[in-house]
Structure 1
Amino acid sequence: MKIEKLTESITLQRSVEQANMTHLTTVREVISEVQANGDQALLAYTEKWDGVKLSSLRVSPEEIEEAFIGFDPQLIEDLKEAANNIRTFHEKQARQNIELALEKNSYIQYRISPLDAVGLYVPGGTAAYPSSVLMNAIPAIVAGVTRVVIVSPPSKDGRLPASVLVAAKIAGITEIYKVGGAQAIAALAYGTESIQPVDKITGPGNSYVALAKREVFGKVAIDMIAGPSEIAIIADDTAYADEVAADLLAQAEHDAFASSVLITTSEPLAKQVSIEVERQLKQLPREEIARASIENYGRIYLAQSLQEAVKATNELAPEHLEIITENAIELSEQIKHAGAIFIGRYSSEPVGDYFAGTNHVLPTNSTARFSSGLNVDDFVKKTSVVYYSEEMWQEQYPKIARLARLEQLEGHARSVESRSWEKGNAK
């Protein structure tokens, strides 16, 4: 990995957005085709791009039950425990209605109500991501969403991976469709003969999926436009080079565009990590992908102080941040912008990816400056409610009318003035 002196800020020049835009024409064509031809378009695209000819899009109850046959019982228990951890953490996020009592038997409220239906995109095809099932489904269920749908591209055998179906059953999801890509996003947004439309779409995907989510936004809500994975690590001379290297490569193996950044105050650690990354790369099954990521978007920065490292990290606003330093807990309190923070040697990023209970659907491309990871709030809406009694109206309407006329909205003023005790009493 390249070692550089830390400047005032870190800028990662990733051309992912430009690369994505070359797919936009295709995405728009797919969305139009699905709108026009529904299931027929979904089946045609599945045959064209996934290489499998399906007779039915929906996963049958039998397929879900068959997924458990021969599945490692220990992994089932691990997934159940992970699901319980995620559920427990997200239940703490659930909001209650807020009511503020006013004078004269009046009140205002903030009502929290779940969305009716959400669609969860689970990446697939060449890999299986049961963790994505749990991370997207459980917050929706905790929020009270009554219809939760999963879409995921099928394998060459026309099935979804057993691990995905097992995770879905553990999470409590049974409406599952074998369709992926931009066509799946279009189906969730506009509906087809088999797939009823939803109110919101969440979950990561490739560039076609990300662009499709952007295109349908407004017709439905979306969680975010997620970019390639990112990790930043702040470390001092108390960190172990082999562990830091392993953590950097854990993100690099995701995607050739993923970024892995180490900011350290220790020059010896920087040199050792650079050597370790190269050594471990040669042993990694996904070496080609990870090497492209490290060579293009991997960096080691030497900082003069931890305060300088914190400042640069806050400007970078990474998706994942590990802090492996002396007094790491205290240092973490100075971090304002990060999707998720992992404190200390034993809290490596995969702990959050799979098991701790926090959500791994996180903001990328520095959007952690203004956005949050997936949470229960993403699956609810908030409605304000006003109840004024006659006595409250009598006291307040002149003030409201004056404010309306200040903005030259005479109709507003007349609306609030049009009520009167005499008129109501005459009835």
Structure 2
Amino acid sequence: MTTESATVVVIGAGPAGLTVANLLRRCGIDSVVLERRSRDHVTRRRRAGIVETRAVRMFESWGLADVVRGGPPHDGVLEFRIDGESRYVDDRDGSAGSGARLCPQQVLVQNLTAAHLADGGDLRYEAADVTLHGLTGDRPSVGYRAADGTRHLISCAYVAGCDGDRGVSRAAVPASVSTVHTFDHGIGWLTVLADAPPPAHPLLAVSPQGFAAHFPRGPRSSRYYLQCPPDDDPAVWPDDRIWDALRTRLADPALTGGPITDREVFRLRSLVHEPLRHGRLFLVGDAAHILSPMGGKGMNLALHGADLLVRAVRDAVRDQDDTGLNAYSRRCLRRVWSDQEFSHWLTRTVHEAGDATASGPFLRQLARARLDRLVTSPGARHAFAELMTGLDPARAEAGPA
């Protein structure tokens, strides 16, 4: 057994863990990042595609602007196509500064990985059998088995659990001290990645045949979503059926297809763990919360939590001030529930406004009234833009000074 010491052990090398590690380096605080998967697997895993305005400006404030420059700026325009009629909403709030960027998760992870290693960071892949010990004491430790079979035990001051909702970090919190809030939307999405031209703007389509969406994932790549039963089998969706459904629901008979490189059915669900701290373990990202993908809040909420945690650790290490650490869970949960509400609202709106089989005609008309208000009311558009950007002018966060 090799024994080591670090100020922070970060478990997980996804967007949350790598952001924590990079920001800690900017504060001069050492950390060790443990990731159970290989580097190739982590840096190729395709997920979210838009880094919201708040997160872009957060990276800029820490001197990490380059990590979100893997794609073009998001022009702020969203297209809602309702029964074939296009309506446009600008999700920019008019504030000065950089806006959101189209930066797929794998590009963000690749950039964060490169930045961390270039700055001398300690990043260890294929760390198996990770175990957490003494989390409620003054000096917890994290054990793991390296790829060569050697065992390591790292003593630390804090543990950042960034390894997802099925990782060891969340499992290390006893059920007796944690409340789990869950919600199943009863909706499935077939998510499709294809080598096909991206749309001019992110597109959300409502029709009697069900919800569909089309998002850019690169100059020659697109991500599509099709509403389907939550227990559907991807095998019942051959290529021809996918393209026929997309052309119908997107009201675009001439939609250009292309080779489909990935398809998967997943169930829309939401989850919140409370509190997000157990002793010296702090949960960040999917280890703390899962959101419906509507509104693109999942990854961005993880980046917000990473920012909050690092500033709290910085204050504790530099100034012996535990105020931020003690408030971490409460401050994170405030935004978590705000983003959950927004994501839930948008999910119900675009699905109930389309196929009325499940929702019924009354809820369908309510959803369509909400969409009409969104595209016609300046006040509704401004509120929507504030939520999409992630900015909170009433409670602006301090920078990394």
Q: Same fold (TM over 0.5)?
A: no
When the two structures are superposed, what TM-score results if normalisation uses the length of structure 1? 0.18
Higher helix share: 1
When the two structures are superposed, what TM-score results if normalisation uses the length of structure 2? 0.19
Higher strand share: 2
